[in-house]
Amino acid sequence: MCGIVGYIGKSLAAPILLDGLRRLEYRGYDSAGLATVSDGRLETRKCAGRIQALADLLKKEPAPGGVGISHTRWATHGRPVDENAHPHADGSGRLVLVHNGVIENYQALRAQLVEAGHTFKSQTDTEILAHLIGKLYDEARAPHGKARLLEATRAGLKQVIGTYGIAVLHLDVPETIIGARRGSPLAVGLGRGEHFLVSDPQAIIAHSQEAVYLKDYDVAVVGRDGFEISTLEGGIAGSYEVTKVDFTSDDVTLGEFPHYMLKEIFEQPHSVRDALRGRLSKDDASARLGGLNMTPQELRDVDRVIITGCGTAYHAGLVGEYLIEALGHVPCEVEFASEFRYRNMPMDKGTLVLAVSQSGETIDTLAAVRESVRKGHRTLGICNNVASTIARECGAGVYMHAGPEIGVAATKSFTSQVTVFTLLALLLGRIRHQSSSEGLGIIKALEAIPAQIERALETSDQIREIAAKYVGAKGMLFMGRQYNYPIALEGALKMKEITYLQCEGHPSAELKHGFIALIEPDMPSVFIAPDDTMFESNLNSIEQVKARRGPVIAIGTEGRKGLEQVADDVVYIPRCPDYLSPLLTIIPLQLLSYHMAVHLGRDVDKPRNLAKSVTVE
């Protein structure tokens, strides 16, 4: 959620830190700050609000020096005010620390420190950690220096219950940054005569294309000319891998688009092509997913699939459930990752667990992975970052190839996840019951999807006009059947996330079982009603809404008549098989939420209270 950027090198640190924070701005935050070392002094600047507020403060009060740490904070403990912004100092004022995560036992630690005479300036759990490490450093008998700071950091973290990704600076060791992680991502960025410590390498792509991702309980000592990684217990860390960052600065620029969300909506023909590239085999009439590391016999032995994820990934999993059962003939269930590890779910040896996360760092999904692995189940990851914690801990899975997604509201990652589930369902189906001709039919339909998404995107201007009609709505209802019930959920989520309207997603047929009470003229209903086996049923539900004076926006299939007679507005998508319709029906809903948010004057890419990567419970 929060962002960490540390720098040590030959250049001024503050401009590099500020640029790095801007590149992480999409993650969600409510305050920002940095600290640099210059001429034996710590120069700390921090404030609530946007990064631009910090930039303005630095113009008035520059922070010189070639080493520094910085942070964007998403409030967990304490309101988003100046004094709660990071970095936080220890009692001596000679140590500063930034922190992602949550210290669960901070109240007990605080009580011990207060009893020892410490006073605190903030309401954060992070300041307690800064005081604890500072106190242990001051009490240590070892000579002042890097080893002493390293040992104090280790000793402090051993007392912590919770999650952390931290960067520590001390005036006694001005040429060193200490980093450590448990449950919150952290990586060392590599350079020549300069190094970085970041929560996401995207922050430093203008300066470094190589990174080493820390593992849980790793501690890194970072200097200008090198770095060392050890364990929290003091041992030598295992081997580490230098990862090439697979995107450039051009990948994360807006180009001609006013917002990242709109840019990423329009990137979906490309991102879906990338998810399919090299994975369709006409010779086998099947999909090739080598990253699964499973033989055909092992795949055939799977008698149950459990998909786990959060938010948009959960909705993609619901589409996957329909796909895997319909095409693969394997029973499938979807569980919220936040609930998975707390349930005592009966799972036999034939169960395959699929963990879905765009970032690969979602804390609840990571916990679900660890619970599944702990119980001995084969667990695969579906991620957009091959070096992420979930990808590493699963050890096998499918890489989405969606490219960087900056907008907080997920768009192209959703369609990439659904594409991966379609490939997996095809693979399972061909192993079990599908004929080669059936497999080739699915391949042909999949190959046509990117171009069909391009045609669906041509509705953007029409949808902008529709959004203007309903800008005064007090909320929206989204309804769909079968494959498109999860699309109703995802459409409602997108609208909630960036417009702040109260929205709900439901199966269309559930209308008369309760929520029909919400129908009124200022509560539009969005029906996902393609030309499928549920079309007549959806048409009947639309009639029930219209009978109660409810406005209706319908998503239909080109060439299928009927919707225009009952709906107030109809947006048409290209014709495709039922099982692929979610890849097309979601496009108008993404555009509708985007254009509604723009009409309402919302901050589309940085909606209130949200973060892109949720790394705290």
Q: Are 382 and 292 in contact (CB under 8 A)?
A: no
Burial group, residue 81, by CB count within 10 angstroms (0-12, 13-18, 19+): middle
Question: Considering only CA atoms, which of 508, 468, 461, 463 is closest in space to residue 489?
Answer: 508
Instruction: Please state the three-class secondary structure of 216-251 as a single string.
Output: CCEEEEECCCCEEEEECCCCECCCCCEEECCCCHHH
Tell me which amino acid residue 568 is.
D
Among 2, 310, 332, 576, which one carries the catalytic annotation?
Answer: 2
Measured at the CA of 577, the angle between CA 576 and CA 582, to 5 degrees, comes to 80
Sign for the CA dihedral angle at 185, 191, 44, 229 comes to positive
CB neighbours of residue 137 within 10 Å: 26
- 543-574: b (≥16 Cβ within 10 Å) or e: eebbeeebbbbbbbbeebebbeebbbbbbbbb
- Collapse the DSSP code of 553 into the 3-class scheme (helix H, G, I; strand E, B; otherwise coil) and give the result: strand
Q: At what angle do helices 582-599 and 460-469 cross, to 10 degrees?
A: 50
One-character DSSP codes across 175-195: T-EEEEEEBS--EEEE-SS-E
DSSP 26: G
CB neighbours of residue 140 within 10 Å: 15
DSSP 51: H
Alpha-carbon distance values, 313 to 87, 236, 386 (Å): 32, 36, 17
Tell me which amino acid residue 595 is.
H
Tell me which amino acid residue 277 is.
R
Alpha-carbon distance values, 410 to 98, 117, 334, 358, 446 (Å): 27, 47, 19, 9, 22
- Collapse the DSSP code of 614 into the 3-class scheme (helix H, G, I; strand E, B; otherwise coil) and give the result: coil
Cα Rg, the chain, nearest whole Å: 26
- DSSP-assigned beta bridge partners for residue 601: none
Alpha-carbon distance values, 202 to 22, 75, 110, 249, 573 (Å): 10, 22, 34, 9, 35
Q: Are 363 and 183 in contact (CB under 8 A)?
A: yes
Q: Are 17 and 203 in contact (CB under 8 A)?
A: no
Sheet strands (E) in 420-548: 475-480, 502-507, 525-528
d(CA 341, CA 486): 23
Among 46, 135, 263, 612, which one carries the catalytic annotation?
Answer: 612
2: annotated active-site residue: yes
Q: Which residues are catalytic?
A: 2, 612
